[in-house]
Amino acid sequence: MGRPVLMDAAHQHDDLEINLVAEGGTMLYLFGGVPVEVGPGSVAAFWAAVPHQLVANSATRVHWIYVPFAEFLRWGLPDSLVSRLLSGTPLVSAPPAAATTDPASFAQWASDLTSGQPERHRIAMLEVEARVRRLALAAMGEPVRHYTGGAPALRQVIAMVRHIAEHFREPLTVPDIAAAARLHPSHAMAQFRTVVHVTVGDYLMRCRLAEARRLLVTTDLPIAHVASASGFGSVSRFYAAFTSTCGVPPARFRREHPRIGLR
């Protein structure tokens, strides 16, 4: 719990992340190619392996919960919900649908999860799971609230990030990405790094690795097909990038994250 700090760069981690804006204004994420607002009283849940970055904030107190990926899979959530989250679409409750009990619940979970008592930990995880299920009931049919304001530089970077998110499975060049924002390639790349704080190449790699993780745990595709479907030009390059970033080779990652709860 605390006051959000703007992220220096887009980042990712293998958890289900859940946010609650308890006090203050709005958080603005760049998330998987889309700007997403999380307003006062709102709860957001998303798969954090998708590159995300907090780029603007007026919230003064926010709760964060990170559910390990293996635990999330063990919940056996509906396929439609799992597919939505792993495909990079967050769940965000509209402020009118906010639960008045959320601030007290999140504070209780923080106490339980750090108590060192297995039973309290188990109860907290059951309640977190229930909250995500309720969030899905309220938000699954609702569109994600997209950001419409901002400076021209932010809008231009959003156009490039969205283009990468929609086309990362294909061969992409710098001119392709710059064209999405109607910018000269050199200016586009400088603009991108100023806002996102990573290079276009790094961001593109993160998107491809997030897709590879998704395919490894939701399909039985051979590793070579996962590499190709994620946008990697060669299996050897995929193995090197995946192992360097995720700490284990793709086959081991699949063994450690079985397709529990998916059909």
Say if residue 187 is in the same domain as residue 235.
yes
Residue 145 belongs to some domain of the structure: no
| Confidence at residue 263, expressed as pLDDT on a 0 to 100 scale | 36
Residue 263 belongs to some domain of the structure: no
Say if residue 241 is in the same domain as residue 217.
yes
Domain that holds residue 101: 15-139
Q: How far apart are CA 225 and CA 27, in angstroms?
A: 37
* Residue where a domain terminates, one of 107, 139, 171: 139
Q: How confident is the model at residue 262 (pLDDT cuts 50, 70, 90)?
A: very low
Say if residue 161 is in the same domain as residue 251.
yes
Say if residue 121 is in the same domain as residue 175.
no
Q: pLDDT by residue (tens digit) across 90-145?
A: 888 876 666 788 999 999 999 999 898 999 999 999 999 999 998 888 776 555 44
Q: Per the structure, how many domains does the chain have?
A: 2
Say if residue 35 is in the same domain as residue 126.
yes
Say if residue 158 is in the same domain as residue 135.
no
Burial of 211 (0-12, 13-18, 19+ CB in 10 A): buried
Q: pLDDT by residue (tens digit) across 30-46?
A: 876 678 888 888 999 98
pTM, whole model, 2 decimals? 0.64
Say if residue 43 is in the same domain as residue 105.
yes
Say if residue 31 is in the same domain as residue 132.
yes
What are the start-end ranges of the H helices in 66-173?
69-74, 79-86, 102-113, 118-139, 152-167
